[in-house]
Amino acid sequence: MVELTKISELKGIGEKTEKLFGRLGIATVGDLIRYYPRGYDVYDEPVPISEAAEGRVVTVTGAIYGRVQVSGSRNMQVTTIYVKDITGTLKVIWFRMPFLRNTLGKGGVITLRGRIVNRKSGIVMEHPEIFYPSARYEEKLHTLQPVYGLTAGLSNNSIMKAVRQALLDLDLSKETLPDEIRLKYGLAEYNYAIRGIHFPEDKEVFYHARERLVFEEFLEFIQSLRKLKDSNEKEQNHYPVRKASGTEEFLSQLPYELTGAQRKVADEIAADMAGSTAMSRLVQGDVGSGKTIVAILALMDTAFAGCQGALMAPTEVLARQHYESITKLFDRYGAAISVELLTGSMTAKEKRVAYGRIESGEVQIIVGTHALIQEKVNYKNLALVVTDEQHRFGVKQREAFARKGGVPHILVMSATPIPRTLAIILYGDLDISVIDELPANRLPIKNCVVDTGYRKTAYAFMKKQVQDGRQCYVICPMVEESEHLEVENVLDYAQMLQDELGEEVSVSCLHGKMKQAEKDDIMERFGRNEIQVLVSTTVIEVGIDVPNATVMLVENAERFGLAQLHQLRGRVGRGKHQSYCIFMSASRSKETKERLEILNKSNDGFKIASEDLRLRGPGDLFGIRQSGLMDFRLGDVYQDAKLLQKANEAADLLLDSNNEWMKKMPKYEGTSSVII
């Protein structure tokens, strides 16, 4: 079968390149054609320089004005030119490309395509693609060029070349969807879709190709969930756990009352764990709704029943934070339960001690990261697994827990607000509880949506908050064109902010290219208030809980989905101090202002998620970052909500017709890390 052919059999892919592809999870030709572009360079008509708006990638044509300048240090040379048309003049810079002085020094008319940013000196186009002479741009006008996720040593061109060759060699004539389903929902053929997703001739081809592939991805996912639900319903409860008097006594000592919603959800969990079948329950709750204490109560009931419970977090920082807060709670209120921490960065000796205590049953609650499911960990009687942040926990992890004894109860905690109509489809194997009430002592976050002219005022406000002892986050969006530039963007911004706020304020940055240990170190220092302002990409979305952080400034807010902005906002408002969120937008469009105004007026995540669904259109695929929820290969549950509902309907039709396709359907192999 051609799809199983090793990519090393493609022309130009030797042993070294094969290893680079391997870093991206690409081993076969099939892996390669399913490694879809993460975006597209859209080559639109050039705009007048006066209309080059901050935060956008635009094309301009103009005459090179004045001489080419090269400045900066040996390691970071900056090449600068000025380009002029009848509407204005634009400053243009390139990093580490001093050789451009020879090319551009001839002058004349040039076409440039790049991102517009706002620097101290004003509007600047950074590191643009050059079309010189300008006539060369005509060749790319109105085309879409795929942009793939890269790894060091592998260029976008290399991936494009390999994909082109694979598509030439591959027999794509075989259709993978039943004809009646494809025709009923007006979906493109597989052959058209797979070519169109990699190399679309225009936006129309892209939309049709993507629609077909997303539909099929959702359909396979839903069918896998249904199979799992069928097997879950038959799983006997190996660990009946009932409400413990020790848990009730602990509750009575807390300095606050549970909300009605927390009580209701806690009762639903208790009923499940005492029932005849193993629990599989999702608890949805907005940021700050008090999901963690509900999980702790379930873990306590498990411990008092003589069994073990595990709490699995997506990062070491978060795992350590959970561990510390749980042990402090138990010490303060006299709960005689032993808690263990297990993370990957612990020394071999520390791990050995932890393994021994876990296997002997000496500890009842184990908090950790993916280290909780490593082969060397043996549990005495693991009855409950609580996972933090549902979309960070995957299929294999759940199976690994099950292999370590009887089938444990599963409790999934999600702060991602999803409208119930979608949640029922997405979490088809789980019963759903919702904590839809915030504790009375939470101060609502104060929001404002502003344009870039407010930046100086925002910095002054942040400086005042730091002087009052508080801390701040600044979120910069990723730069799609180059992951290298994404890093520079955050580094440059952090340096600029340090200059702006002064030496008495410690500014640091965080981005996806850092090693995990480096990220953890910075987040821990931020937690101890050794860093007052943290400039970050969205890696902070699931991160440390810092009650002292009171300001969140989101740059280029128009480039994020509303649900993701709400998740980011949840990093503040976690303590006793009033918190603020500043959404800064470079866009002047009416639609963008309408979207962001929803965040300005509401802190209700479920309402925001519903509005996000209502307002999104197909054009957003090119302008707004996808939510990342469940991390499908192509699908986005907000963007593609209607397709998700159609796929669910199609799954019903196929079930009713006992279709042959269903019997042959492969197990879902997407990158989604939903528990299936």
Per-residue pLDDT tens for 472-531?
Answer: 999 987 644 444 444 447 788 888 899 999 999 999 988 877 887 888 888 889 989 999
pLDDT at position 675 is 27
Find tokens 């993978």 and name the residue: 176
State the pTM of this model.
0.70
Residue 61 confidence (pLDDT) above 90: yes
Cis-peptide into 240, omega within 30 deg: no
211 vs 197: CA distance, rounded Å: 10
pLDDT digits (tens, 9 = 90+) for 585-641: 877 777 778 888 888 888 888 788 777 766 665 545 554 445 555 667 888 877 788
3-class state of residue 21 by DSSP: helix
Residue 439: the pLDDT is 77
Cα dihedral sign for 629, 635, 638, 641?
negative
* CB-CB contact of 541 with 564 (8 Å): yes
Can you list the positions of beta strands (E) in 228-289? 280-285
Can you tell me the distance from the alpha carbon of 146 to that of 200, in angstroms, rounded to the nearest whole number?
A: 8
Cα separation of 528 and 530, whole Å?
5
Q: How many Å separate Cα 332 from the centre of its chain?
A: 36
- Mean pLDDT value of segment 266-272: 96
- What one-character DSSP code corresponds to residue 619? G
Assigned token pair, 114: 């790049």
On whether the CB atoms of residues 172 and 195 are closer than 8 A, the answer is: yes
Contact call for residues 93 and 80 (beta carbons, < 8 A) = yes
Longest CA span, the chain: 84
CB 376 within 8 A of CB 356: no
Give the residue carrying structure tokens 């959404």.
583
Q: Is the model's pLDDT at 538 over the cut of 80?
A: no
Give how far Cα 386 sits from Cα of 294, 297, 321, 409, 425, Å. Answer: 11, 11, 15, 8, 21
Q: Which residue has the higher pLDDT, 401 or 453?
A: 453
Beta strands in 38-102 (DSSP E): 39-42, 57-72, 77-85, 88-95
In angstroms, rounded to a whole number, what is the distance separating the alpha carbons of residues 122 and 75?
24
Q: How far apart are CA 12 and CA 646, in angstroms?
A: 42
**Which helix (H) or strand (E) segment is 367 a member of?**
strand 365-368
Res 585: pLDDT: 86
- pLDDT range class, residue 240, cuts 50, 70, 90: very high
Q: Which residues pair with 37 in a beta bridge?
A: none
| 5 pLDDT more than 50 | yes
Instruction: Give the model's pLDDT for residue 389.
Output: 58
Closest CA relative to residue 570, chosen from 545, 533, 588: 545
Residue 394 has pLDDT above 60, yes or no: no
Return the bridge partners of 130, or none: 112
Strands 580-585 and 549-554: parallel
Position 442 confidence tier, pLDDT thresholds 50, 70, 90: confident
419 confidence band (pLDDT: 50, 70, 90): confident
* Residue 182 pLDDT: 93
Pairing of β 144-147 and β 471-475? unpaired
The per-residue pLDDT of the chain, averaged, comes to 84
Section 66-94 average pLDDT = 91
Residue 443: left (phi > 0), alpha (psi -120 to 50), or beta? beta
Cβ-contact 235, 285 below 8 angstroms: no
SS3 assignment, position 71: strand
Question: Per-residue pLDDT for 233 more than 80?
Answer: no
Residue 72 phi/psi, 5-degree rounding, is 95, -175
Average pLDDT on 45-73 reads 89
Give the residue with greater pLDDT, 658 vs 393.
Answer: 658
Model pLDDT, residue 406: 73
Residue 542: which pLDDT band, with cuts at 50, 70 and 90? Answer: low
Length of the chain: 676
What is the four-CA torsion angle of 274, 276, 282, 284, rounded to 10 degrees? -50
Judge whether 289 and 437 are in contact, CB under 8 Å. yes
**Considering only CA atoms, which of 314, 317, 265, 268 is closest in space to residue 290?**
265
Q: What is the mean pLDDT of residues 352-360?
A: 94
Which residues have a Cβ under 8 Å from the Cβ of 42 and sit 6 or more positions away?
A: 144, 203, 622
Q: Residue with structure tokens 């209700």? A: 604
DSSP 538: G
Say what the pLDDT of residue 436 is.
83
Q: What is the 3-state secondary structure (H, E, C) of 369-410?
A: CHHHHCCCCCCCCEEEEEEECHHHCCHHHHHHHHHCCCCCEE
Examine the pLDDT at 261 and tell me if it is beyond 60: yes
Bridge partners for 583 per DSSP: 449, 554
Sheet holding 409-414, edge to edge: 339-342, 365-368, 308-312, 382-388, 409-414, 280-285, 431-435
Residue 91 has pLDDT above 90, yes or no: yes
Nearest partner of 39 among 158, 141, 146, judged by Cα: 146
Pinpoint the alpha helices (H) of 145-187: 156-169, 179-184
What digits encode the pLDDT tens for the residues 191-218?
999 999 999 988 899 999 999 999 999 9
**139 has pLDDT over 90:** no
Average pLDDT over residues 174-200: 91
Determine the Cα–Cα distance for residues 78 and 95; give it in Å rounded to an integer.
Answer: 5
Residue 65 has pLDDT above 60, yes or no: yes
In whole angstroms, give the CA distance from residue 212 to residue 214: 6
Average pLDDT over residues 339-354: 92
Residue 231, pLDDT score: 67
- Pairwise CA distance, residues 532 & 63, whole Å: 45
Decide: 344 and 323 in contact? Cβ < 8 Å.
no
pLDDT at 611: 77
Query: What proportions of the chain, in percent to the nearest 5, are helix, strand and coil?
Result: 45, 20, 35
**CB–CB of 310/366 below 8 Å?**
yes
Say which amino acid occupies 44: D
The CB-based long-range contact list for 81-86 (8 Å cut-off, 24+ gap) reads: 83/49, 83/110, 83/112, 84/49, 85/48, 85/49, 85/60, 85/61, 86/48
Q: State how far the Cα of 565 lies from the Cα of 104, in Å rounded to an integer.
A: 41
Indicate the pLDDT class of residue 133, thresholds 50, 70 and 90: confident
More confident residue, 607 or 302: 302
Cα separation, 675 vs 398, whole angstroms: 7
Tens of pLDDT, residue by residue over 38-51, are: 888 888 899 999 98
